[in-house]
Amino acid sequence: MEKENFNDELKDEILTDAEATELVVPEKSEETVAVEDEGQSDAVAEKIDETDAADKEAPVSEKKPKPKGRVIFTLFITFFCLLIGFLSVYGFVTPDREFSENESRLLAKMPEFTLNGVLDGTFMKSFETYLTDQFPFRDEAILLKSIMERALGKREENGAYIGKDGFLFEKQTAFDGERMKVIADSINRFAQGKEALNTVFVLVPNSSFVYSEKLPDYLETENQKEQIDEFYAMLCEAIVKTDAVTPLLEAKAAHQVFYKSDHHWTTRGAFAVFEKIMESFGEEIAEEEFEFHTVSNDFEGTLKSKSPAQNTADSVEVCFPKNSQGTYFAEFSGEGNKKESLFFKEKLREKNHYEVFLGSNVAKVSVSTVLEGDRKLLVIKDSFANCLIPMLTPYFSKIVVIDPRYMTEGIDGIMNEDAFTDVLFLYNANTFFSDSVLTDVLGRNLI
């Protein structure tokens, strides 16, 4: 009991001492507070003055510069907007082009706006093509792209391979045996019903085979001679198969038999095969009976259009029999007039100088000569035959040339118009291996 009283007394004593020792903060007078505030203000002002003085004394280089990236970006955006604006205005005020000579094709026109076209997406697709084709300075842009790709070491542009010594080559068409069998069957049916006709078939290899040593080192191509022989084996015995490979390989030692800038053969190459063709028709010819004349030295063909940076140009020769002037006249489908020549000199002022031979491709050309007799020739061909047709004029009283790619009807009407004695099929391998119309044209005349 005494212990508990003692603890209570001790507790009261401790609490009393603590209260007695509490710190008492004296109150400041108003005069003292004012003096202290004035001192602090003077110190802050003095600090600000020192900072301003330091900024004024600091050199310009120590000030924080504006970011250079932001300036460059602003200039780039400004230039880009001005360029887009200029091209838009130029494209608006400049008439649309209908044809591209460099690309040898028609350019897209402004599509007609229709609600159905917008809904099914055809309008936007056609409009995109239109903008691409009518883009201002399109030719210059294509050339710049070609130069850049060449600088990067690219050896293929738009399906044209860049070879050695200035040669350009087109991509070979794959040989489809089943497809070729269908075409061969249609030709066989055409020939078997006409035993009186002397039918000759000529399939010409392309430059990538004849000048294979000029191809890029990395490029491997098919053996077109083997492919041609395989197709010839599909043809019936009634058809004479003429070898075009051997004469071209032999002639290239003395002459350039294919253009460097174009996919066609040259007139010299055509003449080498022409001699073999006439042998198949039972005729012997001599080169001295023909004249060769150079009509152009700056021909830039279809392959040059695909690779415009390539520094390549060709010479174009024409070949015709001596003293042949005035010995024939020609009628071209779609023109309705007669012409005393198979050459179109005006085409030499245009882009495609190869069109000096027969002009642009048409469905039918009829040539009547002064030769007496009833020997008449039907030529079924692609554009490779164009430069060879004038060579045939001394040997037939009439020559009818048809290009199935441009025909809208079958061959039956043509066969009934004239009593043909001879038929010549003349194609290059690339075109023939991708043909999709010959079977249909011949199929309308199966009798």
The string of pLDDT tens digits covering residues 120-150 is 888 788 877 877 767 676 766 666 665 666 6
Residue 234: burial class (beta carbons within 10 Å; 0-12, 13-18, 19+): middle
Tens-place pLDDT, residues 72-96: 878 778 876 876 776 566 655 677 7
CB atoms within 10 A of CB 199: 23
Residue range 394-416: average pLDDT? 91
Which is higher by pLDDT, 5 or 308? 308
Please say if the pLDDT value at position 203 is more than 90. yes
| pLDDT for 33 | 44
Q: How far apart are CA 234 and CA 225, in angstroms?
A: 15
Angle between helices 224-232 and 177-192 (to 10 degrees): 40
Task: Report yes or no: 334 and 366 within 8 Å, Cβ to Cβ.
Answer: no
Please say if the pLDDT value at position 393 is more than 90. yes
Tens-place pLDDT, residues 216-248: 988 888 999 999 999 999 999 999 999 999 999
Which is higher by pLDDT, 99 or 353? 353
Quick one: pLDDT band at residue 295, thresholds 50, 70, 90?
Answer: very high
Residue range 188-217: average pLDDT? 92
Residue range 20-35: average pLDDT? 46
| pLDDT for 44 | 47
Please say if the pLDDT value at position 19 is more than 80. no
Which is higher by pLDDT, 173 or 307? 173
Tokens for 207, please give them. Answer: 């430059």
Please say if the pLDDT value at position 332 is more than 70. yes
Considering only 27-36, 295-304, 320-329, 429-438, which range has the smallest mean pLDDT? 27-36
Greatest mean pLDDT range, 48-57, 213-222, 331-340: 213-222
Quick one: pLDDT band at residue 435, thresholds 50, 70, 90?
Answer: very high
Considering only 6-10, 185-189, 325-329, 367-371, which range has the smallest mean pLDDT? 6-10
Residue range 415-428: average pLDDT? 93
Task: Report yes or no: 222 and 447 within 8 Å, Cβ to Cβ.
Answer: no
Residue 425: burial class (beta carbons within 10 Å; 0-12, 13-18, 19+): buried
Please say if the pLDDT value at position 21 is more than 60. no
Residue range 398-408: average pLDDT? 94
Q: How far apart are CA 159 and CA 304, in angstroms?
A: 11
CA angle 257, 258, 262 (to 5 degrees): 160
Please say if the pLDDT value at position 54 is more than 60. no
Q: How far apart are CA 338 and CA 320, in angstroms?
A: 19
Residue range 23-52: average pLDDT? 49
Task: Report yes or no: 239 and 199 within 8 Å, Cβ to Cβ.
Answer: yes
Non-local CB neighbours of 307 within 8 Å, separated by 6+ positions: 146, 157, 158, 160, 162, 168
> Taking the C-alpha atoms of 353, 253, 240 and 446 in order, what is their torsion angle to the nearest 10 degrees?
-30
